[in-house]
């Protein structure tokens, strides 16, 4: 016993010393960038051409780079990262996904690891799970101290930004300064469109915009043998990113299956999806968590939506004329309108309707059910043979959840268009491309 006590004291001292050394190593590790971490293969934008002529030729090198970056973060090294942030006031589901895809392409273009910090109203992983990239890894905020900027100055707010040029300059400044972690709040896809847009006019004379413009196209020159074989339309690039980043959570898929059974749809049944977003102030009920939203359409517009769906059945050769029409809406009243029954339109009566950003309820349970149902309807809409969309990014998102993007998508006001590219038609206006 007399020998054991000194040994015990020595062991404890050694443990304390080792612990202190470890903490010191961690603190120093926070100052190590990805380029300086010897055990991390950096995503080399100067590499020789490789890969096939599809999107995988540039995606796979980035996936490998990202996996190495996560391993480095686990070893307490800071790596150049770009984090999409949604804590509050991020917009609806369509807006949020628009911002996420923009942030992803920005991360790829800047050779930064991409992560998502999505908390409101519920963690994103409750509805969407990682696929090819571990975007759900939590980046230590201490990594912001690896630059000369103060910790809060790495936050960039681009939600409903009226001056995207100014924000792009800020991103450029942070990136060039060596800021380890850039945290980006954004709700539109126009940055993603810019990165894939080839320079073509004098409108793009602003220096910062020129620095970002066509950055993804230039990456194809490095990683792809035949970049001309890759479509660079906004809809195509959005769809490509979404289908490689995300899979729907099992609870969402299970709920979508319940909805399809309620609609009397078979596993592979053809149907026409109609999305009518009325906006305004929906009437509160047991299955509606109310909100206030700008008005999008009138109740009387429902006839035009259904007429468009009918024309798809009659004039689209690949769709059976007996294919049912299924209505998705943010309004219970339109679901119960006489025209719905008169036109034999099917609806899901059990849907809990809420707005991801604007609804508020004392019941967390009702909010969560609304969140799951929002994504379940989105998943189900994307499986339709044709989609007739409304003035909403939710419609555009539904058309972009498969790859390649939905072949039969029309805006209700322009039904003659068989393939209406939502992102190409709406996003360039923001940057006046």
| Tens digits of residue pLDDT in 355-399 | 777 667 667 888 899 999 999 999 999 999 999 999 889 999 999
Q: Is residue 356 part of a domain?
A: yes
Token pair 């209505």 in the structure block, residue: 327
Do 142 and 267 have their domain in common?
no
Do 227 and 315 have their domain in common?
no
Alpha-carbon dihedral sign for residues 153, 174, 44, 133: positive
Do 94 and 176 have their domain in common?
yes
Predicted local confidence at residue 230, as pLDDT: 63
Task: List pLDDT tens digits, range 253-273.
Answer: 999 999 999 999 987 789 999
Structural domain containing residue 280: 250-431
Do 274 and 215 have their domain in common?
no
Do 195 and 285 have their domain in common?
no
Q: Is residue 190 part of a domain?
A: yes
Joined together, the tokens standing for residue 28 give 């120093």
Q: Which residues of the chain have pLDDT under 50?
A: 1-3, 7-8, 10-53, 147-151, 202, 204
Contacts of 163 (CB under 8 A, 6+ apart): none
Burial of 308 (0-12, 13-18, 19+ CB in 10 A): buried
Do 313 and 201 have their domain in common?
no
Helix (H, G, I), strand (E, B) or coil at 399: coil
Do 192 and 308 have their domain in common?
no
Do 232 and 298 have their domain in common?
no
Q: Is residue 9 part of a domain?
A: no
Predicted local confidence at residue 206, as pLDDT: 67
Do 359 and 406 have their domain in common?
yes
Token pair 């905020």 in the structure block, residue: 141
Q: Is the bond into 422 cis (omega within 30 degrees of 0)?
A: no
CA distance 367 to 352: 9
Do 324 and 399 have their domain in common?
yes
Closest among 393, 403, 128 to 246, alpha carbons compared: 128
Do 241 and 260 have their domain in common?
no
Domain boundary among 248, 273, 298: 248
CA distance 194 to 105: 10
Domain boundary among 204, 227, 248: 248
Number of domains present in the structure of the chain: 2
Q: Is residue 16 part of a domain?
A: no
């Amino acid at each position: 016993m007399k020998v054991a006590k000194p040994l015990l004291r020595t062991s404890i001292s050694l443990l304390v010393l080792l612990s202190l050394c470890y903490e010191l190593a961690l603190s120093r590790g926070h100052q190590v960038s990805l380029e300086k971490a010897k055990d991390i293969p950096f995503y080399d934008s100067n590499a020789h051409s490789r890969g096939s002529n599809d999107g995988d030729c540039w995606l796979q090198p980035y996936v490998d780079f990202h996996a190495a970056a996560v391993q480095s973060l686990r070893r307490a090294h800071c790596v150049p990262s770009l984090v999409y942030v949604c804590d509050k006031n991020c917009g609806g589901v369509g807006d949020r996904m628009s911002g996420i895809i923009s942030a992803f392409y920005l991360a790829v273009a800047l050779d930064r690891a991409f992560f998502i910090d999505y908390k409101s109203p519920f963690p994103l992983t409750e509805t969407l799970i990682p696929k090819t990239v571990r975007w759900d890894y939590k980046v230590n905020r201490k990594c912001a101290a690896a630059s000369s900027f103060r910790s809060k100055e790495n936050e960039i707010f681009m939600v409903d930004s009226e001056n995207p040029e100014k924000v792009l300059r800020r991103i450029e400044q942070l990136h060039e300064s060596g800021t380890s972690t850039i945290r980006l709040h954004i709700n539109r896809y126009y940055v993603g469109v810019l990165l894939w847009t080839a320079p073509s006019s004098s409108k793009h004379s602003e220096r910062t915009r020129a620095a970002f413009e066509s950055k993804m196209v230039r990456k194809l020159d490095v990683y792809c043998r035949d970049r001309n074989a890759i479509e660079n339309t906004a809809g195509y690039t959005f769809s490509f990113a979404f289908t490689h980043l995300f899979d729907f959570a099992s609870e969402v898929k299970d709920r979508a299956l319940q909805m399809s059974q309620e609609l009397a749809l078979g596993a592979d049944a053809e149907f026409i999806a109609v999305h009518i977003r009325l906006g305004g102030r929906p009437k509160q009920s047991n299955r509606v968590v109310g909100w206030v939203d700008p008005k999008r359409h009138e109740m009387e517009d429902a006839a035009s939506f259904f007429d468009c769906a009918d024309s798809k059945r009659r004039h689209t050769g690949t769709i059976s004329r007996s294919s049912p029409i299924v209505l998705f809406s943010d309004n219970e009243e339109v679901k119960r309108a006489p025209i719905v029954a008169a036109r034999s339109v099917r609806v899901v009566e059990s849907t809990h309707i809420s707005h991801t950003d604007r609804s508020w309820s004392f019941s967390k349970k009702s909010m969560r059910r609304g969140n799951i149902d929002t994504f379940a309807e989105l998943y189900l809409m994307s499986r339709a043979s044709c989609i007739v969309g409304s003035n909403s990014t939710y419609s555009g998102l539904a058309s972009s959840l498969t790859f390649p993007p939905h072949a039969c998508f029309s805006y209700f006001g322009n039904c003659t268009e068989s393939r209406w590219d939502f992102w190409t038609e709406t996003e360039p206006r923001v940057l006046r491309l």
